[in-house]
């Protein structure tokens, strides 16, 4: 029987653990806060931002919203970030991506103080992950590690193939799996014989952004399949990068879409917010 990895349930457990921890901190007079910055009206971003704010409310983190108009200048956004960097009452800063085309995302990411970078996108945090130093870890790959660990799927010595080399998922995912003593391959759009490369995987992580691309031709019998994609189809339903129905009988475990990786990203963001508060109190 193929195991369906229930990300919604595991994320619920993590949020519950955090809710209790945050309640204990509150009793000691400690309050955790997250500044959530959105620029423009990207509908998907609005959904994500709302879900993040709802999660904050649930676990007991104060979220402070900044919803700026599409025409906001890069300089204005940088100014807001500098203000938030200096504000002692703000622990975490999250700038929802993508930003409007006239704003350079890397300039914004670099401007966020590394100790408040709860997304784990700042080069200092990315570098820290690469060399095994403490720092914030990008929420989606951190969430995938939690999904695997809490589903008792061992990583030591396993062949892991990640398809997709983004800074947010593919690259940090490779570092986290390496840290768990897995053997890691990052494949991408230029990889030769992608199906054969994927078929080597004990754990296949699909993060390409193409709906239902991964059929059973890409999956080894008994492999674990982690689907990072999320796409809204013409009929309104959601699907991932993996053709779930096609691979279901081939793999031993799989994350569904929705309800797999997605909820974990938000749970790990809440985890990073708690860490940001701890870090700033240690200064």
* Chain residues that interact with ligand GUN, rule: CB under 6 A: 94-97, 119, 139, 265
Q: How far is the CB of 149 from ligand GUN (least distance, A)?
A: 20
Neighbour-count burial for 45-76, b at 16+ CB within 10 Å, e otherwise: beebbeebbebbeebbbebbebebeeebebee
**Of the two residues 52 and 216, which places its CB atom closer to ligand GUN in the complex?**
52
**Of the two residues 97 and 130, which places its CB atom closer to ligand GUN in the complex?**
97
Q: Are 151 and 203 in contact (CB under 8 A)?
A: no
Q: How far is the CB of 185 from ligand GUN (least distance, A)?
A: 24
Of 79, 223, 110, 93, nearest in space to 158 by CA: 223
By beta-carbon distance, which residue lies closest to ligand GUN? 97
Q: How far is the CB of 97 from ligand GUN (least distance, A)?
A: 4
**Residue 94: what are its φ and ψ, rounded to 5°?**
-125, 120
Active-site residue 227, yes or no? no
**Of the two residues 225 and 261, which places its CB atom closer to ligand GUN in the complex?**
261
Catalytic residue from among 6, 119, 227, 243: 119
Identify the three-state secondary structure at position 167: coil
Strand ranges across the sheet with 62-68: 62-68, 33-39, 92-95
**Of the two residues 265 and 277, which places its CB atom closer to ligand GUN in the complex?**
265
Active-site residue 119, yes or no? yes
Distance (Å, whole) CA 174 – CA 233: 29
Q: Are 94 and 138 in contact (CB under 8 A)?
A: no
Distance (Å, whole) CA 256 – CA 69: 35
Of 73, 65, 78, 68, nearest in space to 40 by CA: 68
Q: How far is the CB of 184 from ligand GUN (least distance, A)?
A: 21
**Of the two residues 125 and 265, which places its CB atom closer to ligand GUN in the complex?**
265
Catalytic residue from among 6, 15, 38, 52: 52
Catalytic residue positions, numbered? 52, 96, 119
């Amino acid at each position: 029987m193929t195991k369906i990895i229930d990300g919604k349930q595991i994320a619920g457990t993590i949020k519950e653990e955090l809710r209790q921890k945050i309640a204990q901190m509150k009793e000691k007079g400690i309050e955790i806060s997250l500044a959530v910055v959105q620029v423009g009206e990207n509908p998907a971003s609005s959904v994500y931002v709302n879900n993040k704010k709802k999660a904050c409310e649930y676990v007991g983190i104060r979220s402070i919203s900044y919803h700026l108009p599409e025409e906001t200048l890069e300089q204005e956004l940088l100014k807001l970030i500098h203000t938030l960097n200096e504000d002692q009452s703000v622990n975490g800063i999250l700038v929802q991506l993508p930003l409007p085309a006239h704003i350079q995302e890397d300039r914004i990411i670099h401007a966020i103080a590394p100790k408040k970078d709860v997304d784990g996108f700042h080069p200092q945090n990315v570098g820290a992950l690469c060399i095994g130093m403490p720092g914030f870890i990008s929420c989606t790959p951190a969430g995938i590690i939690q999904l695997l660990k809490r589903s008792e799927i061992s990583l030591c010595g396993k062949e892991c193939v990640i398809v997709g080399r983004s800074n947010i998922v593919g690259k940090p995912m490779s570092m986290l799996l390496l840290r768990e003593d897995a053997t890691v391959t990052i494949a991408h759009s230029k990889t030769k014989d992608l199906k054969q490369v994927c078929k080597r995987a004990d754990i296949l992580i699909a993060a390409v952004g193409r709906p239902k691309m991964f059929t059973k031709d890409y999956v080894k019998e008994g492999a674990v399949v982690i689907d990072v994609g999320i796409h809204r189809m013409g009929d309104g339903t959601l699907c991932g990068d993996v053709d779930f129905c096609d691979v279901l009988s081939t793999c031993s475990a799989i994350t569904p879409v929705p309800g797999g990786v997605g909820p974990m990203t938000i749970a790990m963001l809440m985890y990073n917010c708690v860490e940001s508060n701890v870090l700033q109190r240690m200064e």
